[in-house]
């Protein structure tokens, strides 16, 4: 019986798999797979757990290459199921370009079209497309579907998507696309189910993970975001700079003699928390470090996030709730505390104890704006979208 949906989320250093069983009440998680430590010099590692987090497989990979890691994950999957039970495979694809508002069935032609968007998401796009390309060759009969991080933001008004450049660049597709859309859809679905009062209002969601961005939504629709043409804009991130005066890029070219690839490396891989602290890109490490540059990196991160939250709130015409999500948003109480301190003038107040415990509502009873912590589940969102299209 065909009742399984496989989700593949392949990034630069990891491949995540999630296997769901379609049940009458919805999707239930059967297994999760993670191949990590990829793309570097060392050895990758693969771990598979069941729906209750019990380990089913934990082994070192012979190398840090992506393709053998994906093969090993699929081999494990085959040992559980010969593939005949799969309804479809859903892939996370960061960039869908200006037109794609919905998931799409992956044919070789669509794969080629999406590969052309690589310059707009150099850290992600090719990694996202490698597993479906491999699967298309190995299992041409499988239904494969791409779910996009940009699609959710295509509901934004033109003014929110436009740069103040001559119009011809806008018509060429030089737009604010926005990213992390699958995460925001997952949060919107949560709000609709658990807090319909807030879902109907003006909500700013802060997705603070290795990548970080904000989305302003109203009635579950994206109206504004902090990320732009690429996933470099907006908030400072683990290794990305976030908003930067484009004059800095001109300065680096003219006065430091840097070329495009070198600047790309600087802005995508050597900036953000890592660049400012000189210690780590990992928020947990920075919060535990007693070093001054670590504290300064966290301070800048929180200051920028708060400024951008106010900007996005203006873009959506109000602020009825702030939702924190992803690794830092869900776990780093000190970061939420610093960001919300900057937002005190908007009437944002945290409850210290609730915040320290990562409770669902971390604002105090007298806060004008409720502040929530909600776990994002991009894989479940991909599974839901994949099943809907399949």
Shortest Cβ distance from residue 131 to ligand ADP (Å)?
A: 17
CB-nearer residue toward ligand ADP: 2 or 284: 284
Point out the catalytic residue in the list 58, 78, 82, 149: 149
Contact 225, 176 (CB under 8 A): yes
Q: How many angstroms separate the CA atoms of 300 and 311, rounded? A: 17
Q: How many angstroms separate the CA atoms of 142 and 127, rounded? A: 20
Contact 209, 296 (CB under 8 A): no
Which one among 170, 289, 331, 364 touches ligand ADP, defined by CB under 6 A?
331
Q: How many angstroms separate the CA atoms of 382 and 27, rounded? A: 11
Range in contact with ligand ADP (rule: CB under 6 A) among 194-202, 282-290, 300-308, 363-371? 282-290
CB-nearer residue toward ligand ADP: 170 or 289: 289
**Tokens representing residue 188 in the block:** 């919107």
CB-nearer residue toward ligand ADP: 211 or 216: 211
Q: Is 149 a catalytic residue?
A: yes
Instruction: Establish if 51 lies at the interface with ligand ADP (CB under 6 A).
Output: no
Phi-psi region of 152 (alpha: psi -120 to 50; beta: other; left: phi over 0): alpha
Instruction: Establish if 63 lies at the interface with ligand ADP (CB under 6 A).
Output: no
φ, ψ (nearest 5 deg) of residue 323: -120, 125
CB-nearer residue toward ligand ADP: 29 or 88: 29
CB-nearer residue toward ligand ADP: 210 or 230: 210
Shortest Cβ distance from residue 334 to ligand ADP (Å)?
A: 8
Shortest Cβ distance from residue 209 to ligand ADP (Å)?
A: 3
CA distance to 101, 136, 257, 332, 366, per residue, from 113 (Å): 15, 15, 34, 39, 51
DSSP state of 120: G
| H-state helical runs in 332-377 | 333-342, 352-356
Pick from 374, 45, 38, 353: nearest CA to 198: 374
Neighbours of 345 (CB within 10 A): 7
Shortest Cβ distance from residue 210 to ligand ADP (Å)?
A: 4
CB-nearer residue toward ligand ADP: 97 or 327: 327
Q: Give buried/exposed letters for 86-101 (b at 16+ CB in 10 A, else e).
A: bbbbbbbbbbbbbebe
Range in contact with ligand ADP (rule: CB under 6 A) among 79-87, 249-257, 312-320, 323-331? 323-331
Q: How many angstroms separate the CA atoms of 324 and 182, rounded? A: 15
Q: Give buried/exposed letters for 251-287 (b at 16+ CB in 10 A, else e).
A: ebeeeeebeeeeebebbbbebbbbbbbeebbbbeebb
Residues 283-302, one symbol each (x = binds ligand ADP by CB under 6 A, - = not), give: xx--x---------------
Residues 187-216, one symbol each (x = binds ligand ADP by CB under 6 A, - = not), give: ----------------------xxx-----
**Tokens representing residue 22 in the block:** 């379609």
CB-nearer residue toward ligand ADP: 201 or 238: 238
The residues, ordered by sequence, that sit 6+ positions from 108 with a Cβ below 8 Å of its Cβ are 136
CB-nearer residue toward ligand ADP: 136 or 331: 331
Residues 217-256, one symbol each (x = binds ligand ADP by CB under 6 A, - = not), give: ---------------------x------------------
Instruction: Establish if 374 lies at the interface with ligand ADP (CB under 6 A).
Output: no
Q: How many residues bind ligand ADP (CB under 6 A)?
A: 13
Which one among 232, 274, 328, 339 touches ligand ADP, defined by CB under 6 A?
328
Which one among 7, 29, 332, 373 touches ligand ADP, defined by CB under 6 A?
332
List binders of ligand ADP among 112-171 (CB under 6 A): none
φ, ψ (nearest 5 deg) of residue 61: -95, 155
Instruction: Establish if 36 lies at the interface with ligand ADP (CB under 6 A).
Output: no
**Tokens representing residue 271 in the block:** 């900036």
Shortest Cβ distance from residue 329 to ligand ADP (Å)?
A: 8
Shortest Cβ distance from residue 281 to ligand ADP (Å)?
A: 7
State the catalytic residues: 149
| Residues making contact with ligand ADP (CB under 6 A) | 209-211, 238, 282-284, 287, 326-328, 331-332
């Amino acid at each position: 019986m065909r009742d399984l949906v496989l989700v593949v989320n392949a990034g630069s250093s990891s491949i995540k798999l999630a296997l769901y069983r379609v049940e009458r009440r919805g999707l239930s998680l059967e297994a999760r797979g993670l191949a990590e430590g990829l793309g570097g010099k060392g050895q990758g590692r693969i771990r598979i757990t069941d729906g209750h987090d019990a380990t089913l497989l934990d082994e070192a990979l012979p190398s840090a290459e992506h393709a053998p890691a994906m093969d090993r994950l699929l081999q494990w999957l085959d040992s559980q199921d010969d593939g005949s039970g799969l309804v479809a495979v859903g892939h996370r694809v960061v960039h869908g370009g200006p037109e794609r508002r919905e998931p799409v069935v992956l044919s070789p032609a669509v794969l080629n079209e999406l590969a052309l968007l690589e310059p707009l998401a150099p850290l992600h796009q090719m990694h996202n497309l490698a597993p479906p390309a491999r699967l298309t060759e190995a299992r041409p009969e499988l239904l494969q579907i791409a779910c996009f991080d940009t699609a959710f933001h295509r509901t934004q008004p033109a003014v929110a998507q436009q740069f103040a450049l001559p119009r011809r660049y806008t018509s060429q597709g030089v737009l604010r696309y926005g990213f992390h859309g699958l995460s925001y859809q997952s949060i919107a679905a949560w709000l609709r189910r658990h807090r319909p009062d807030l879902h109907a209002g003006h909500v700013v969601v802060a997705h603070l993970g290795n990548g970080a961005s904000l989305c302003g939504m109203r009635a579950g629709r994206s109206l504004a975001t902090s990320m732009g043409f690429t996933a470099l804009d907006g908030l400072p991130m683990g290794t990305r700079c976030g908003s930067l005066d484009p004059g800095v890029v001109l300065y680096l070219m003219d006065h430091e003699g840097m070329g495009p690839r070198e600047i790309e490396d600087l802005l995508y891989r050597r900036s953000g928390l890592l660049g400012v602290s000189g210690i780590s890109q990992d928020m947990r490490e920075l919060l535990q470090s007693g070093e001054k540059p670590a504290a300064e990196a966290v301070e800048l991160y929180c200051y920028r996030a708060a400024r951008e939250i106010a900007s996005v709130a203006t873009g959506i015409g109000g602020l009825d709730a702030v939702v924190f999500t992803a690794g830092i948003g869900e776990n780093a109480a000190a970061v939420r505390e610093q960001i919300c301190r900057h937002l005190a003038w908007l009437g944002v107040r945290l409850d210290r104890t609730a915040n320290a415990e990562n409770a669902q509502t971390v604002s105090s009873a007298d806060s004008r704006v409720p502040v929530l912590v909600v776990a994002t589940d991009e894989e479940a969102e991909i599974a839901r979208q994949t099943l809907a299209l399949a």
